[in-house]
Amino acid sequence: MNITLVLYVVGHVLCYEAVLMLLPIGVALLTGVNDWIYFVYTIVPLLLTGLLLRSRKPKVTKMQTRDGLAAVAFAWIFLAAFGALPFYFSGYFNGYVDCFFETVSGFTTTGATILTDIEGLHNGGLMFWRSFTHWIGGMGILVFVLAFLPNMDGSNVQLLKAESPGPTPGKMVPRLKETARILYLIYFGLTIAHILCLVAAKMPLYDSVIHAMGSAGTGGFSNMNASVGAYHNPAAEWIIAIFMMLFGVNFSVYYLLLKKQVRDVFKNGELRLYLGIIVGSVVFITLNIAQKYYDGSWSDAIRSAFFQVSSIMTTTGYSTTDFNLWPTLSKMIIVTLMIVGACAGSTGGGVKVSRVLVLFKSIKQEIRHLIHPRMISSPRMDGKVIEKGIIKGILIFFFTYIMIAIVAMLVISVDGYDIETTITAVLSALGNIGPGLGAVGPMGNFAGFSQLSKVVLSFCMLAGRLELFPMLILFVPSAWKKSC
């Protein structure tokens, strides 16, 4: 591993994080909430560390795959470690581990919280920073840095591959920096549109910004204890639900729309399956809850079902009702959506719709081979043959995902929570979802877990956001050997 190169990249990330912290300082001054000083305390050591790490330019700038994986993993760990300091200096949180958990949850767009009184944080700089971490982490801090990072012998793409959610990330245009800029322009444009729609729905401007950043990053931090349900605003619920769904779409689809390649959008198999799962889930849940929980009000049932499905499918985590109280069928659908997640190349988490689609096509192909052993054919997606290497990688990903989940469940089970809470807490963290069931349901939180469990869950959140392997490579001794 080229440690100098890895630290050089991390140094750039920390410097940009210091610059980004100027925004919550401005918000604190505008809102009159006196919490700007906590960011000043953080920016000084953050900037010094960043400048120190990037001061030593590596002699070898060609980045190998393991260098890219390690750089992304370290960047996100350092990002969260320093990002937690404003919370720690505020004294509002119960120790640094809680601050780190909350910040990791923010940057990984998980939305799991340890706060029992969110509104006590007040609508100032700290509350803004808490949700701003969603917006930063949603598209990926390395994607942002790639727009400005010096070109390292054309190997910057290793960072994009290591950070981008999905099995086959790639460039939209030949120039990587241009790809990063296009992604952020789309991201920024959708976020502004979301804010304007919420303001039009008579949600306060500050609250609109908070919830738009949470929807954009598919994170789910709200500034209200009861989340979106606290507003009792059906228009805002529809707007947030629709935008959550939009941010769960692969961003390459929006690029195709900008290029007016509408036909290619409709041919996208992942998009069709994603929308199909949402529609199907909404229909089944609506039929399951309308009579008993909404007194036959189909409009309320549909709105509630669509909001919760959109929130969980995209791994955002906002809520308008306590789905803990729903029938078993509806809760099983919710848990299934937790695992599946959003589209590859979106800001959402989970195992990704594209992986599920590839596995289904592979199973179908295997069954056809059993029936017709002499048949020679390969599974296809969007008219292209799915390479065996991609299928193998997805199978390895699924097995690794399951193993991490099992180990994490065993560790946090020591805390003595019921099975429903234990299982969904891990699935929530690993899938970057936020709420689970039981004690960690939409009206609950993660405050009751032990310090060890919070560290384990923080690792799960980072592993889930970074597609597992950037975090796992840190535990492989051979990866630390000097690059040839």
**pLDDT for 119 beyond 50:** yes
Is 117 within a domain?
Answer: no
The residue-averaged pLDDT of 72-93 equals: 93
Is residue 25 a contact partner of residue 86, using CB atoms and an 8 Å limit?
no
Specify burial of residue 262 (Cβ count, 10 A radius: 0-12, 13-18, 19+): exposed
pLDDT at residue 297, as a whole number:
87
Contacts of 17 (CB under 8 A, 6+ apart): 46, 50, 79, 82, 83, 141
Query: What is the per-residue pLDDT across 416-441, written as a single tens digit (0 to 9) for each?
Result: 999 999 999 999 999 999 888 999 98
Q: Which domain holds residue 368?
A: 353-479
pLDDT at 146: 56
Copy the structure tokens of residue 355: 């992986």
Helix (H, G, I), strand (E, B) or coil at 225: coil
- Tokens of residue 292, six digits: 């008993």
143 in Cβ contact with 163 (< 8 Å): yes
Query: Sign (positive/negative) of CA torsion 38, 39, 44, 45?
Result: positive
Q: Which of 99, 118, 96, 95 is nearest to 107 (CA)?
A: 99
Tokens of 241: 């639900």
Does 219 appear as a known binding residue? yes
Q: How far apart are the first and last CA of the chain?
A: 8
Smallest CA-to-CA distance from 207 within 237, 228, 191 is with: 228
Range in 109-123, 256-270, 281-295, 323-337 the model is least confident about:
256-270
pLDDT at 155: 47
pLDDT above 60: residue 151: no
Q: Is 315 annotated as a binding residue?
A: yes
pLDDT for 165 equals 54
- What type of residue sits at position 129? W
> Residue 453: inside a domain, yes or no?
yes
Instruction: Give the three-state DSSP class for 385.
Output: strand
Confidence check: pLDDT of 469 > 90 = no
CB 286 within 8 A of CB 327: no
Contacts of 425 (CB under 8 A, 6+ apart): 412, 417, 436, 440, 446, 449, 457
Q: What DSSP assignment string belongs to 321-341?
A: S-GGGS-HHHHHHHHHHHHH-
User: Is pLDDT at 67 greater than 90 in this prediction?
Assistant: no
Residue percentage of the chain with pLDDT more than 90: 55
pLDDT tens digits, 170-222: 444 445 667 777 888 888 999 999 999 999 999 999 999 999 999 999 998 99
Q: How far is CA 264 from the centre of its chain?
A: 26
Whether 104 shows a pLDDT value over 90: the answer reads yes
User: Comparing 120 with 143, which gets the higher pLDDT?
Assistant: 120
Residue 393 located in a structural domain: yes
Tell me if 316 is assigned to some domain.
no
pLDDT score for 160? 52
Residue 84 resides in a domain = no
**Domain assignment present for 466:** yes
Q: Report how many domains make up the chain.
A: 1
Residue 256 CA to residue 321 CA, distance in Å, equals: 36
Residue 316 assigned ligand-binding role = yes
H helical segments located in 60-121: 65-83, 85-90, 96-107
pLDDT at 65 over 50: yes
- Mean per-residue pLDDT over the chain, rounded: 87
What pLDDT does residue 242 have? 96
Q: Is the pLDDT confidence value at 68 over 90?
A: no
pLDDT of residue 144: 57
Output the furthest CA–CA distance in the chain (Å, rounded).
74
pLDDT (0 to 100) of residue 149: 54
Mean pLDDT of 1-22: 89
User: Residue 70: inside a domain, yes or no?
Assistant: no
Question: Please, how many CA atoms are within 13 Å of residue 101, restricted to the half-sphere of its CB?
Answer: 25
d(CA 316, CA 300): 21
Q: Determine the residue type at 32.
A: G
H-run or E-run covering 384: strand 384-385
In this prediction, residues 411-416 reach a mean pLDDT of: 95
pLDDT in tens, 327-384: 999 999 999 999 999 998 888 888 899 899 988 888 888 888 888 887 777 787 777 8
pLDDT for the residue 372: 83
Higher-confidence position of 37 and 145: 37
What pLDDT was estimated at residue 337? Answer: 94
Establish whether 109 is an annotated binding residue.
yes
| Residue 156 pLDDT greater than 50, yes or no | no
Which pLDDT value is given to residue 42? 96
Confirm whether 426 is domain-assigned: yes
